[in-house]
Amino acid sequence: MSGIGRLRAAVVSVLLLTATVFCVATARAMPPLEIYGNLPGLEMAAISPSGNHVAILGRVGTDRKVLLLDQGSKLIRHVSVGDIKIRGLYWAGDEMLLIERSNTTVLGPSFTANKAELTGMMVLPVMGDRVWQIFEKHDSITGGIRGFYGLNQRNGKWFGYFGGITLDRALGSMSGRVLQSTDPVLYEVDLQTRDVKKIAARIDDQMNWRTWLVDQDGNMAAALDYFSARGTWILRNGNRDEIASGTHPLGGIGLIGFGSSSDTVIYSVPDTERGADRWFEVPITGGGAKEILSDIASAYRIIDPQTRSLIGYQVEGDRPSYHFFDPHRQKVANAVLKAFPGVSVHLMDWNDVFDRLIVKTEGVGDPVTWWIVDVKTGKANILGTSHPMTGDDVGPMKMIQYKAGDGLDIAAVLTLPPGAAARNLPVVVLPHGGPASRDYPGFDWWAQAFASRGYAVLQPNFRGSTGYGADFERAGDGQWGRAMQTDISDGLAYLVQQGIADPKRACIMGASYGGYAALAGVTLQQGLYRCAVSVAGVSDVAKMARTELEESRQNRAIRRALKQELGSGRDLSAVSPIRHAERADAPVLLVHGKDDTVVLYDQSNDMGDALRRAGKPVEMVTLDGEDHWLSKSETRLAMLKAALAFVEKHNPPGPVPTR
């Protein structure tokens, strides 16, 4: 039997295992909320280019750690990371691991925003040396990193490429430095000596932006500039020769990487007609650009971390599927997906020769399991699970379809309580954020937590969601509080019609745009929900738009994008829940992190004041030190406990309460 053939048999047999490297799940009728609310037991993993080392971020007991393992899963090194907000893991050979982190930083009075989420990169040597930070030796580079542009190995040494905000010498001073621009300069960092070398200049205009592509020799191979005032963009090669240009009023132009070799560059341009990016390949020396993959709806592109070349893409769909240009990689990917039937299979990372892969699975009966797949031996071993519970404790989820009031087809994820009959259930309607996003039939920790307590959970992919084509996404333009909102309540009506949901026992809950929809559900709409929970939600649409423009220094591309999304010439007060607080017909819980830099804390605080002035029942929970993404275990869990207690109080899963 071939390695790939043995892989399928091996994986099917070990799918029955429930033990993890972090903890062992015990059967219980109602898992504790900590299983859902805490950061996952295994958050992320990465494999080194050789495949000999694996890095894992997860919990060991109560301690959150980064673990470095050898090929036999023997522990090489570990470091405690506490509540550091880690965003990515990247191997530089087998010698060191780069750990991307972010932190919320208070800015000075010269900035348009009070706080910003700044990114840094830590370097963890495999053998013994202390953890250090990129740019830590260089006082003239501030604010962590502004963009990570890959890694290279030359002459046995590893180099990393990062953008950095650079202080300029003060006029008339030999030593003093001042911040004149927050636009980054591109640097090469020697990961052995920690020395830096400037390899590309900044754009020096905060209304515009620049991004780069670095070749394997450490040279700037291409730079893409976008000019927001005119909506124009220019792609230049390393000699500063223009090789492509165009106009797009909303921005979103992307420099993807090299083509099949370093002789061509691939870039993307948003297509408002098709609702997906169009990809073009152009010779790096100049010449006509050719469109590629024009008939593909991709969820994201796959870039080789060593060569920065496009090697494939993930196909958009309810469950992930993959297309690799290399036949061997495609054969392996197909075999891996077939080996895990009935669940969503995510290819998270792999070694250079594509014979050791890190795979994540989720779905019915799977509490998010991480695997190391060895194609040569045909074995798949469990690295751990994200949520320590048995498969029986996972609420079954599936995609459903229903019609909106105007006949538009809407897809949604329906999660049901484990082991319960799908009849006359209390329901939590859980619209997603974005709103340019979508929900998939996987393990959603919010949905699973409420399903474990006896609620059906509906996650509608209302108009304006991504993944369903251009017409569907554009149908959301100008529809905040209007058709986007009724798409959500039409889903509740469908569940009632099917006998799944009890119409007298429904609450609505969401975060970000979903938090807005929750507030709109009890102010702009009436008679539908027994309660609403808004987490970091927008209450004042006009104020949100003003804030985004002020913080971007009136960036014209952002102005045009807001105009398209929110509508032209419309009265935003008509769709702002804060302007209709007196119409609220159900109790409201507001939850917001003080360090939110996306939807400011004032959006919830002001809504609370408006509801209290109107004499409406409202509770407010402030999450100190928490950001927009609920990145810390303590505050994630606090949110979940408060939300569940509020919903159970006003919409208990037991007998029908009296309104």
**DSSP secondary structure, 62-76, as one string:** TEEEEEEE-TT--EE
Chain segment 265-315, per-residue pLDDT in tens: 999 998 766 656 788 999 999 888 999 888 777 667 899 988 999 999 998
Is there a contact between 529 and 506 (Cβ–Cβ < 8 Å)? Answer: yes
With a threshold of 0.75, does the pTM exceed it?
Answer: yes
Q: How far apart are CA 516 and CA 522, in angstroms?
A: 10
Radius of gyration (C-alpha) of the chain in whole angstroms: 25
Q: Which domains, from first to last, does the chain contain?
A: 395-650 (3.40.50.1820)
Q: How far apart are CA 432 and CA 476, in angstroms?
A: 14
Q: How far apart are CA 158 and CA 218, in angstroms?
A: 11
How far CA 26 is from CA of 40, 211, 317, 391, 505, in Å, comes to 17, 49, 34, 11, 31
Phi, psi of 575 (to 5 degrees): -115, 15
pLDDT for position 551: 67
Spatial CB neighbours of 201, under 8 Å, sequence gap ≥ 6: 185, 186
Task: Kindly state the helix (H) or strand (E) to which residue 337 belongs, with its residue range.
Answer: helix 327-339
Q: How far apart are CA 222 and CA 596, in angstroms?
A: 34
Q: How far apart are CA 41 and CA 57, in angstroms?
A: 8
Is there a contact between 494 and 402 (Cβ–Cβ < 8 Å)? Answer: yes
pLDDT for position 207: 65
Low-confidence ranges of the chain (pLDDT < 50): 1-28, 656-659
Place of tokens 């939807």: 599
Q: How far apart are CA 289 and CA 234, in angstroms?
A: 13
CA-closest candidate to residue 559, choices 204, 2, 551, 519? 551
pLDDT for position 218: 94
CA-closest candidate to residue 641, choices 507, 505, 450? 450
Is there a contact between 27 and 85 (Cβ–Cβ < 8 Å)? Answer: no
Place of tokens 């509020």: 646
How far CA 514 is from CA of 275, 521, 600, 636, in Å, comes to 22, 10, 15, 17
